[in-house]
Every structure is written in C-alpha cells, then in structure tokens.
Structure 1
Amino acid sequence: MSTLIPTIKSGNKKTTESNFNRLPSLPSWFDDILGKSFGNEFISNFNTGITLPAVNLINLDNEFVVEMAVPGFKKSDFDINLDNDILSVGAELKSEINEENEQYTRREFGYSSFKRTFVVPETVETEKISAEYNDGILKIMLPKREEAKKKAVKSIDIK
C-alpha cells in the first residue's frame, strides 16, 4: 500500500513555514521543464507496457469463467498457473522491427506484459481447470464441485 503525498507545483502556498518548504518539489520541476520543452508528439505513441486487460468473471451453474480481452498474443505467450488457491495469468510480448534503406536506418522495439491474479474458491475442481484462446479472448474455465453446483428449486407442499 502506498501513501500519496501532495506536492505544490507553483510554490505559492501561503503559510508561516520557512521558505524551504515553499519551494516546488524536484519531480514537479521535471514536470514543468519537460512539459514546456517537449510536446505530446514525442510521447503520444509511448507504450508503458503496464496496461491490464479487461476481465469478465462469469458465475454459471456448473462453472466459473474468466474472460480476458488480450488481442495480439499467441497461445505460447501466456503463463497460467495455480499456486494453492491463487490463479495467476500473465503474458509477455516482445517485438522488434529493423528497416534499413540507403538513406536511413530505423530500429523500433516494444515490450508489453501483464499479470493478473485471482483467488480461486474452494468450490472449484482445480484438477479440471482448462483454458482456450480464440480471436483475442482468453477464457479460463473453472468447473465447480458437485456440491457447489446450483440445485434446481424444489417446491414444498404444505400438509
């Protein structure tokens, strides 16, 4: 858990504290310098590689289903593990483009990865967990134990 500490960018806070406390923080100086010197055109295509995929958790009668939207990956890019009751799903994708021409050489590379973890309920048959990946959607099926499956509603007659 992290604690957020507010900083004063303008340095115009009116207090009775010393002048040292009224100076802007070092990170805000960098923000001010970089923000004024470089426009967004240099960082608009910057990929931090830390975005998390959208997830749907579905509770069906016989199973739980975890769906993740992760287009652009191959089946071999995924790492799915169950450690005790923790299901971890991760993927790593590296790409590199090299172009050489008489006039120029261009070399670009990218890296993207994520890792999501889920607590698996005790009602899941962990030996029967399966996964499939089609059209950019990763589905992980977690079948429920027989005693956890939803039973049909029973009507009780009054005597």
Structure 2
Amino acid sequence: MKVFGKEIGKDFKIPPFLDNFFGKLLPHKNNEELVTIPSTNISDEEKVFELSMALPGLDKNDVQIQIEDDYLIISGHKSQSLEEKNKNWVRTEFVGNSFYRAFALPTNADPNRIEAKMKNGILDIKVGKRPQAERKTRIIEVA
C-alpha cells in the first residue's frame, strides 16, 4: 500500500500516534440512517492532540462529543424540511444529514482535558496529554 507516494513498510512507516489515533467507525444505534464519515486533520503537538473536522452547514448545537470507554466519539445530525402549498396539493420534503466518527484515544491522552470550539463550520478539538511519568530506578537486593 502506498501513502504519500511511498510504500508502507519499506522506507515509510506510519507513526505510532496515527496508528493508535486512527478514526474508526463504530456501530451506530440507528442502522437505517445514512451516516457519513467527515475527514479529520489530526496533529500531535507537545502538550495536546489537535483535531479539526470540516462540518459545513452545521453549528455547535448539531454536534455531540462524548467519551465512551477509550473512544472520543463525535456525531451529529441536522434535519431540514421544505413545505410547498398550492391550490390542490401540499408537498413536504425532509432532508437529514448525519455524521459519526470515533477515535481510539492514545494511552497518553487525558480524557478529562478536552476542549472543543466550532466556528464557520470547522470543529476544533484539543485533547490534553497526561504528564510523562518519571522513570525511577530502584535496585532490589536478593535475600
């Protein structure tokens, strides 16, 4: 498989962070509804993981973010209806738009330090990192 023109496993390896934080589709509660998977940019910064997701036409009230087990789940739904009335008939059409993304949180992600902002159809999420634990060396004497 090629990524960015390079064969994976030869000269190019997927960074462990992206491998662990790769988006996965989990079963949705309503299997009859069409659920899209929006593209997401993910970056591993020094103190946080940053996710940016394009959600055109949606606002913050259409979006739900939750932590379930070790997954960050981002979903949403927007319904619109159009009604036309004429002399002898009425026509009503409903359009629904749903999305669903689930990300396995890396072991160093802190699920208690998550911030989200939405502006102009772009959802930005920051997931804080846990502080690195200092490794302590201790010698154990054998009795």
Q: Scaled by the length of structure 2, what TM-score is found? A: 0.64
Q: Match for 2:114: what amino acid?
A: I
* Larger helix proportion of the pair: 1
**Structure 2: distance between partners of 1:85 and 1:50:** 22
* Consecutive aligned runs of 4 or more in structure 1 exceeding 2 Å deviation: 48-51, 101-106
The reply to whether residue 146 of structure 1 matches residue 131 of structure 2 is: yes
Is the strand fraction higher in 1 or 2? 2
Amino acid at match of 1:67: S
Residue-by-residue CA offset, 1:31-85 (whole Å, 9 max, x unaligned): xxxxxxxxxxxxxxxxx84332111111111110111111111211111110121
SS at match of 1:90: strand
What amino acid sits opposite 1:134 in the alignment?
K
Higher relative contact order (CA 8 A, sep 6+): 2
How many residues get paired? Answer: 101
Confirm whether residue 87 of structure 1 aligns to residue 72 of structure 2.
yes
Partner of 2:47: 62
The CA RMSD measured in Å over matched residues stands at 1.9
The one of 98, 119, 127 equivalent to 1:134 is 119
Identify the residue that residue 123 of structure 1 maps to in structure 2: 108
Extract unaligned runs of 5+ from structure 2.
1-32, 134-143
Unmatched segments (≥5 aa) in structure 1: 1-47, 149-159
Contact preservation (8 Å) 2:56, 2:122: yes
